[in-house]
Amino acid sequence: MTKTYDLAFIGDLLMATVPHGGDIQAAVREECGKAGVEFEAPNVIEGVILTDEPTEDDEIIHEGPDRGWLWDENGTTFKYAVKR
């Protein structure tokens, strides 16, 4: 089974990526604190797959790093977040 993640955006900026079901609100609060910006409720997209090579049938949800880096919990970066 492929591991999925939840993404949190404020506007079009990716603020946090957590394993699906993780505390996305806490992750966004932490990132807002690091960036020195006021917390606001994020738009959350659940159940995406992180990959560097999307397939032809994948729906690309986010392509980094222009609007934020995609990191897994191990610190590995990915170029795409997709829905399959």
28-70: pLDDT as tens digits: 999 999 988 889 999 999 999 999 999 999 999 999 877 778 9
Q: What is the pLDDT of residue 27?
A: 95
| Section 9-22 average pLDDT | 93
Instruction: Return the SS3 of 2.
Output: coil
Whole-prediction pTM: 0.90
Tell whether the torsion through CA atoms of 40, 46, 49 and 55 is positive or negative: negative
Residues of the domain holding 65: 5-83
Q: What is the pLDDT of residue 68?
A: 79
**Residue carrying the six token digits 């939840």:** 6
What total number of domains does the chain contain? 1
Token couple for 51: 């990959």
Beta strands in 1-84 (DSSP E): 5-10, 13-19, 43-51, 59-63, 70-71, 77-78, 80-83
Local confidence band at 1 (pLDDT 50, 70, 90 cut-offs): confident
